[in-house]
Chains A and B, each alone.
Chain A
Amino acid sequence: MKMDARPPLLAAERLAVEIGHRQVCRQLDFTLQAGDTLVILGRNGAGKSTLLHTLAGLRDATGGDVLLAGQPYASWPRGHEACLRGLLAQSQPDFFSATVLETALVGRHPYLGRWDWEGPEDEAIALAALDAMGLAGFAGRQVPTLSGGERQRLAIAALLVQQPRLYLLDEPLAHLDLHHQVAVLDHFQALAAAGAGVTMVLHDINLAARYASHVLLLDGEGGHVSGPARQVLTVPRLSAAFGHPLRAVADGDATLFVPA
């Protein structure tokens, strides 16, 4: 934990989260500084998305505090928090048609006044984000004509258009092929290097090991382990958390985890 004049982008203090009567975490403390990438790992139903929504300020905690840039969400003027933190939610079905560009422009909402229309600057930002996600030629396409992976990249592009400092990503690699998985993670790594903070839910332990600076491992029963990636990603901890034996395979400097 570095001492910094600025408050950390995101902090949890004695955070407790429950779904119904199931505990997701209790007494969770962590800070996320600019440049950090925190990966949340855990088995299905451990409450990773619920925790992420709590960290995004969309859901009340059972106890403790979530601080965005040093302040609880309640004390941010409504709408201002959306300029600072963005959430990539798990994909939801679209019931109405829209073009790819219109969908990406959604990310400009927090910056526009009630009566404003998106201007050329907003369009330029949206087109750059589409380009960054490999959707450069897609601006005029209707969203229902896209494949699952293309829609996922469009959702990420809309998040990039929002230009937050803190990115909260719920399974950003869903539906993506191998190439795009790595390309998306590279993109967020570059954003973190440029001063953003990234928190994401992943299922791939090896990609987590490659990109995370910190890891939060939920055991599904309210317990957790958190800390620098190398300390948390160990065979006994991962095996216990996922309820499946793993073994470590050395690959040069890196360690790969494979199911035993």
Chain B
Amino acid sequence: MTDDTRIASRAHHGPASAAAPAAPAAVHRRGRRRGLLVIAGLLLAALAAFVWSLSAGALPVSAADLLAALGGAGGSMETDIVRSLRLPRAVAAFACGGLLALAGALMQVLLRNPLADPYVLGISGGAAVGALAAIVTGATSGWIDAGAFAGALGATLLVFGLARGDGSWTQTRLLLTGVIVAAGCGAAVALMLSLAPEGRVKGMLFWLMGDASSVSQPWPALLLLAAGLVAALPFARELNLLARGEITARALGVRVGRLRGLVYGLGALLTAVAVTTVGSVGFVGLIVPHLVRLAIGNDQRLLLPAAALAGGVLLTAADTAARTVVAPIQLPVGVLTALIGVPVFLFLLARHPR
């Protein structure tokens, strides 16, 4: 047993202990600075996405006119188009992209599963059933929103109630219940699509793919995005612990039950509002948290705000592209998020062989 104490002795007077500590700590702090830089860059990108979204279209608006139009010196056609058509749409796309990405990041931690997204617990399925039922019966857009929100809420409560039937809900049980409820909703959606009158099927399909063109009230979604971030950030370090496992988190003093309830409720609310506003836009909630994670790591204190910003930027840009690339035809934005998101994600994944 000659070198029993090699490890212990190295801690006290080994050559490594003097030199090593400074460098990795600097690396660690550089990682944090990098995260803050990425967030600052995303803020600039958000500004650029807004400028593009407000100026691009059948009637191009120059940057100077844009300022005048937003400043309220109203009357002209540019002002009308920017303020009553493009601004609500850009705000809705940004807010909902942010909501979905934030909800996706939260769900991935809650379920400790990188494949989780905001829809995995059946929320979008429930919303789709509610919204499509409203469309089939010929309801107005206000009732479609109400139906979507009620459906999302119903699915959330159903999954939560079923999953914790015996009081001890595990991630696997929650996930499986969510997947099954989502499958049931999918069947109901397919049934309604096949029974719906011809004239209403296109509206239903657009709703299902996600569409920001008919948003009347974008501001509640934006307010909720800000409120959701403010609610989640104080718990970000506890979420880091939860991502490493329940026992570890509890042993370090985290109230896991309360934290899970908060994350589940918040994730469900963010998703329900996003889906109610723009329909079930895919891929943003799954891919954006991963993109951000590849760029800045998995510290939720940086990841959550960065994901919210990146999701907003992606959906604003995608929605602008959706209404301009093949104008005058408008594409459903959900198709573009998938077309952009999938190759970008595969590219980044291939570059980071971890």
A residues near B, CB below 8 A? 53, 56, 58, 78-82, 86-87, 89, 92, 94-99, 101-103, 105-107, 109-110, 112, 114-115, 117-118, 120, 123-124, 127-128, 131-134, 136-137, 139-140, 142, 144-145, 162, 179-180, 182-183, 186-187, 190
> Are B4 and A182 in contact, CB atoms less than 8 angstroms apart?
yes
Distance of A23 Cα from B248 Cα, bound (Å): 25
Distance of A92 Cα from B6 Cα, bound (Å): 28
Distance of A133 Cα from B16 Cα, bound (Å): 13
> Are B252 and A82 in contact, CB atoms less than 8 angstroms apart?
yes
Q: Which of B7-15, B122-130, B185-193, B216-224 interfaces with chain A? A: B7-15
Distance of A94 Cα from B108 Cα, bound (Å): 13
> Are B8 and A78 in contact, CB atoms less than 8 angstroms apart?
no
Distance of A102 Cα from B7 Cα, bound (Å): 21
Tell me, yes or no, whether B253 is within 8 Å of chain A by CB: yes
| Nearest chain B CB to A35 CB, angstrom units | 18
Residue of A nearest to B238 (CB): A109
Q: Which of B46-54, B270-278, B292-300, B317-325 interfaces with chain A? A: B292-300
Distance of A56 Cα from B7 Cα, bound (Å): 28
Partner of B5, one of A86, A117, A140, A186: A186
Contacts of A56 in B (CB 8 A): 251
Q: List 9 A-B contacts (CB under 8 A).
A: A78-B255, A89-B247, A127-B20, A127-B21, A139-B20, A140-B27, A142-B354, A144-B354, A182-B4
Main secondary structure of the interface of A (DSSP, over half): helix
> Are A96 and B114 in contact, CB atoms less than 8 angstroms apart?
yes
> Are B20 and A136 in contact, CB atoms less than 8 angstroms apart?
yes
Contacts of A103 in B (CB 8 A): 244
> Are B20 and A99 in contact, CB atoms less than 8 angstroms apart?
no
Distance of A187 Cα from B11 Cα, bound (Å): 11
Residues of B214-267 contacting chain A, CB below 8 A: 234, 237-238, 240-241, 243-245, 247-248, 250-255
Residue of A nearest to B20 (CB): A136
Distance of A106 Cα from B251 Cα, bound (Å): 11
> Are A78 and B25 in contact, CB atoms less than 8 angstroms apart?
no
B residues near A, CB below 8 A? 1, 3-8, 10-11, 14, 16-17, 20-21, 23-25, 27-29, 31-32, 108, 112-114, 234, 237-238, 240-241, 243-245, 247-248, 250-255, 293, 297-299, 301, 354
> Are A114 and B25 in contact, CB atoms less than 8 angstroms apart?
no
> Are B253 and A131 in contact, CB atoms less than 8 angstroms apart?
no
> Are A133 and B7 in contact, CB atoms less than 8 angstroms apart?
yes
> Are B234 and A106 in contact, CB atoms less than 8 angstroms apart?
no
> Are A132 and B27 in contact, CB atoms less than 8 angstroms apart?
no
Distance of A73 Cα from B24 Cα, bound (Å): 37
> Are B17 and A131 in contact, CB atoms less than 8 angstroms apart?
yes
> Are B244 and A131 in contact, CB atoms less than 8 angstroms apart?
no
| Nearest chain B CB to A100 CB, angstrom units | 8
Distance of A115 Cα from B301 Cα, bound (Å): 10
> Are B297 and A98 in contact, CB atoms less than 8 angstroms apart?
yes
Distance of A187 Cα from B12 Cα, bound (Å): 13
| Nearest chain A CB to B277 CB, angstrom units | 29
Distance of A58 Cα from B29 Cα, bound (Å): 33
- 4 closest cross-chain pairs (CB), A and B: A139-B24, A82-B253, A79-B253, A87-B251
> Are B25 and A110 in contact, CB atoms less than 8 angstroms apart?
no
Partner of B237, one of A78, A99, A109, A162: A109
Partner of A132, one of B1, B8, B29, B255: B8
Distance of A192 Cα from B3 Cα, bound (Å): 21
Distance of A107 Cα from B249 Cα, bound (Å): 10
Residue of B nearest to A87 (CB): B251
Distance of A126 Cα from B95 Cα, bound (Å): 39
Contacts of A137 in B (CB 8 A): 16, 20
Partner of B252, one of A94, A109, A124: A109
Residue of B nearest to A89 (CB): B247
> Are B299 and A102 in contact, CB atoms less than 8 angstroms apart?
yes
- A101-B24, A137-B20 given; A183·B253 CB < 8 A: no
Contacts of A133 in B (CB 8 A): 7
Partner of A102, one of B8, B247, B255, B297: B297
Partner of A179, one of B3, B24, B31: B3
| 19 additional A-B residue pairs with CB within 8 Å, beyond A95-B112, A95-B114, A136-B10 | A58-B247, A82-B251, A82-B253, A87-B251, A94-B244, A97-B354, A98-B298, A103-B244, A106-B240, A115-B234, A117-B32, A127-B21, A132-B8, A137-B16, A137-B20, A139-B20, A182-B1, A183-B8, A187-B7
> Are B252 and A106 in contact, CB atoms less than 8 angstroms apart?
yes
Residue of B nearest to A88 (CB): B251
| Nearest chain B CB to A74 CB, angstrom units | 13
Contacts of B8 in A (CB 8 A): 132, 183, 186-187, 190
Contacts of A123 in B (CB 8 A): 21, 24-25, 28-29
- A56-B251, A187-B8 given; A106·B24 CB < 8 A: no
Distance of A78 Cα from B255 Cα, bound (Å): 8
> Are B28 and A92 in contact, CB atoms less than 8 angstroms apart?
no
Contacts of A145 in B (CB 8 A): 354
> Are A109 and B21 in contact, CB atoms less than 8 angstroms apart?
no
Distance of A139 Cα from B248 Cα, bound (Å): 20
Residue of B nearest to A113 (CB): B237
| Nearest chain B CB to A95 CB, angstrom units | 5
Contacts of A94 in B (CB 8 A): 244
| Nearest chain A CB to B260 CB, angstrom units | 15
Distance of A101 Cα from B299 Cα, bound (Å): 12
Distance of A170 Cα from B354 Cα, bound (Å): 29
